[in-house]
Copies of this chain bind each other. A is one copy, B any other.
Amino acid sequence: MDNRPIGVFDSGMGGLTTVRELRKQLPGEDIIYFGDTGRVPYGTKSRQTLMKYARQDIRFLLQFDPKAIVVACNSADTVRAAVAPEFDVPILGVVESAARAAAAATVSGKIGLIATETTIRSGVYEPILQALRPDAVLKKQACPLFVPLVENGRTEPGDPVLELVVEEYLSPLRDWNCDTLILGCTHYPLLSQVIGNFMGKTTKLINSGAEAAESLVRYLESEDLLSAPAHRGEYRYYVSDAPDSFAGLAKGFLGRELDGTVEQVEIGQF
């Protein structure tokens, strides 16, 4: 047993959808969350810059002696393989978990992937899917307006701008008849309803944040790293921009009121 916390980081708010799943599955675990709200978004930044930011985010979390770190951002996770070996802590990501779930879920072998420009361009999903399901075909679509829409609270069915953007981005995937669609950005679960309505019931949506939470549960169980049964999880949130607006916005991602302290970090110093 291990009562040390789990570290989670993201470009801003999106990673809270992973925290939501972690809390559901592991209510006894302490979680330290870092959201890089002063430099958000990550999905438009270069690989080189993402490597620098990911290193800083990990160094910040290491201060809390975490038993594991979750990269709860697909864009940041595109550099995990390059950065993680530099650190002496298990670092799990969202991409591999989502790819595994998609490979297991697809029947027809037609898998759709929607994500930020950075994630799509990186090609990070292809080798994992290829190894797991060599017969599968991946069709990708960058959805650069989804993050701004979600961050502006435009997530509800019936929002005319959102519906129009969804139709533009997802029509090629729907017409192609993929049976599995990877939501390759931790903001996108907030659009599940609109995306699900558009794609239809026969398309299975893969929530990358939720899949990462499940992978972490399996990892902690297999390594006997779960917290003691009597331990009650506590939550601390850190952000790189002013903390005041964080709590209000967090609710939509977390599915509940924020219960835990929110503090500001000078992330550039790490």
Where the two chains meet, the residues of A that have a C-beta atom closer than 8 Å to any C-beta of B are 37-40, 44-49, 144-145, 147-149, 151-152, 160-161, 164-165, 168, 240-242, 244-245, 268
Partner of A242, one of B38, B49, B147, B168: B49
**Bound Cα distance A45, B242 (Å):** 8
Which residues of B sit under 8 angstroms from A164, Cβ to Cβ? 160-161, 164
Further contacts, 5 of them, CB under 8 A, given A144-B152, A161-B168: A38-B39, A144-B148, A145-B152, A160-B164, A161-B161
Instruction: Please name all residues of chain B whose beta carbon is closer than 8 Å to the beta carbon of A148 when the two chains form the complex.
Output: 144-145, 147-148
For the complex formed, measure the closest distance between the CB of A82 and the CB atoms of chain B, giving whole angstroms. Answer: 15
- A164–B38 Cα gap in the complex (Å)? 30
Q: Which of chain B's residues has its CB closest to A117's CB?
A: B152
Q: Would you mind naming 30 contact pairs between A and B with Cβ atoms under 8 Å apart? A: A37-B45, A38-B39, A39-B39, A40-B44, A45-B241, A46-B241, A46-B242, A46-B244, A46-B245, A47-B242, A48-B242, A49-B240, A49-B241, A49-B242, A144-B148, A144-B152, A145-B145, A145-B148, A145-B149, A145-B152, A145-B161, A147-B148, A148-B148, A160-B164, A160-B168, A161-B161, A161-B165, A161-B168, A164-B164, A268-B268
